[in-house]
Amino acid sequence: MKKIYLLSILVLFLTACNSIPTYQNPAEVAYSIEGEIENQSEVEAAIHVIEDNLNYATKEDMEGYLSTIVASGREETQNELAPVFETYDLEHTVLSAEVLEQEENRLLIRTEQQTVMLDAVEGAEPYRSHIAEANHELVKENGDWKIKETIMTDTTFIN
């Protein structure tokens, strides 16, 4: 009986180990937009803003990155992001997207995003590559979708 119990624990442990996320090559990632979509073209435009935001972050293009967020948040974001750009080279990838709420001038979109450290300046604190759930609130500003707020949750570290 003791052997069966130990074997059961081993099987559960190995099953849990297989659920640890691994790196996904951005060139191979494909996803469809899930959720209750009322206006497909508006949702696609908003998702494009999120993708641009992450591409600008990967390229460390501060001006481009700031162009994807609301004007009222740009100065604070620049102050917070500049040290990250100076210290780390990170690769950001959208893995999935789901529309949670859609209004004419406001969207809530949940994405699963992968962030991987490619390089860091010598002596930098270690950066842990991860997959996280990002809850984006986008609003229309001068007719264009802009990210108003992003809240990261459910972070799982990648080996």
Give me Rg for the CA atoms of the chain: 19
pLDDT of residue 23: 86
The pair of structure tokens assigned to 62 is: 């501060």
> What whole-number distance in Å separates Cα of residue 107 and Cα of residue 110?
10
Whether the CB-CB separation of 88 and 124 falls below 8 Å is answered with: yes
> What whole-number distance in Å separates Cα of residue 78 and Cα of residue 158?
27
Report CA torsion sign: 35, 16, 133, 130: negative
* E strand residue ranges, the chain: 33-35, 88-102, 106-120, 130-141, 144-157
> What whole-number distance in Å separates Cα of residue 23 and Cα of residue 131?
9
pLDDT of residue 27: 87
What does each of the 159 residues of the chain score in pLDDT, given as a tens digit? 444 443 344 344 444 444 667 888 888 989 999 998 999 999 999 999 999 999 999 999 999 999 999 999 999 999 999 999 999 999 999 999 999 999 999 999 999 999 999 999 999 999 999 999 999 999 999 999 999 999 999 999 997
pLDDT of residue 96: 97
Q: What is the pTM of this model?
A: 0.85
> What whole-number distance in Å separates Cα of residue 59 and Cα of residue 157?
22
pLDDT of residue 62: 98
Q: Which residues have CB under 8 Å from 140's CB, separation 6+?
A: 104, 105, 106, 146
